[in-house]
C-alpha cells in the first residue's frame, strides 16, 4: 500500500528515522505527547491532537515503537472517530496488543531490529507480515514492509 501519512509513535524513536522516511517522499507525522504511553488515554488524546494538527492525508499507517505498540488499536479508534482512514499498522520492536473486538481492522506487520525478537514469532502466528533488519537499514526495510500491507 501507499500511505498518505505515516504516523510514528513511541519514544525514543530510532535516530533519524522520520527524516530518512521524508527523504523517500513520505509524509511523516511524529506526535510528541507530553504523557508517557503508560498513561494510555492521555497519550492517545495528545497524539490524536497532534495528528489532527498535522492535517494528515489518508490512509494513515500507524507505526508504534516500544511500549506504544499496544496503544495502536485505541489510537486507530480515535482516528476513525475523526473520520480518518487507517490503512495499516506496523509494530517496530513493539509489544503487541491483545486481539479483541473489531481489531485488527487493517493489515498489520512487525519489524524487529533483532532476528531473535520473540515477538516476531507472535506476529507470524497472527499471519502478519514480518521482517527484521539492522538499525542502519531501518527506514528502507520499513518502507518495503509498508508496501506489502
Measure the CA dihedral 41/94/98/38, to 10°: -30
Q: Please report, for the domain that includes residue 64, its CATH number.
A: 3.40.50.1820
The count of structural domains within the chain is 1
| Alpha carbon 112 to its chain's center | 13
pTM (2 d.p.):
0.94
Closest by CA position to 33, among listed 15, 59, 51 = 51
Checking if the pLDDT of 78 tops 90, the result is yes
Confidence of residue 114 (pLDDT cuts 50, 70, 90): very high
What does the alpha-carbon distance between residue 132 and residue 146 come to, in Å, rounded to a whole number?
A: 13
Q: What is the pLDDT of residues 18-32, one digit of tens each?
A: 999 999 999 999 998
pLDDT of residue 33: 84
- What's residue 15's pLDDT? 79
What residues make up the domain containing 29?
5-148
Is the preceding peptide bond at 15 cis, omega within 30 degrees of 0? Answer: no
Alpha carbon 101 to chain centroid distance? 19
- Residue 38 pLDDT: 63
Amino acid at each position: 500500500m501507499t500511505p498518505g501519512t505515516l504516523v510514528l509513535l513511541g519514544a525514543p524513536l530510532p535516530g533519524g528515522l522520520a527524516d530518512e522516511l521524508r527523504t523517500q517522499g513520505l509524509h511523516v507525522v511524529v506526535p510528541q505527547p507530553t504523557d508517557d504511553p503508560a498513561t494510555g488515554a492521555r497519550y492517545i488524546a495528545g497524539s490524536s491532537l497532534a495528528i489532527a494538527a498535522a492535517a494528515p492525508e489518508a490512509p494513515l499507517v500507524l507505526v508504534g515503537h516500544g511500549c506504544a505498540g499496544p496503544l495502536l488499536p485505541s489510537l486507530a479508534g480515535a482516528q476513525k472517530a475523526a473520520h480518518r482512514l487507517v490503512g495499516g499498522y506496523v509494530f517496530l520492536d513493539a509489544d503487541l496488543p491483545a486481539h479483541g473486538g473489531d481489531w485488527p481492522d487493517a493489515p498489520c506487520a512487525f519489524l524487529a531490529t533483532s532476528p531473535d525478537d520473540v515477538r516476531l514469532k507472535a506476529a507470524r502466528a497472527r499471519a502478519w507480515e514480518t521482517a527484521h533488519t539492522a538499525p542502519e537499514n531501518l527506514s528502507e526495510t520499513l518502507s518495503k514492509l509498508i508496501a506489502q500491507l
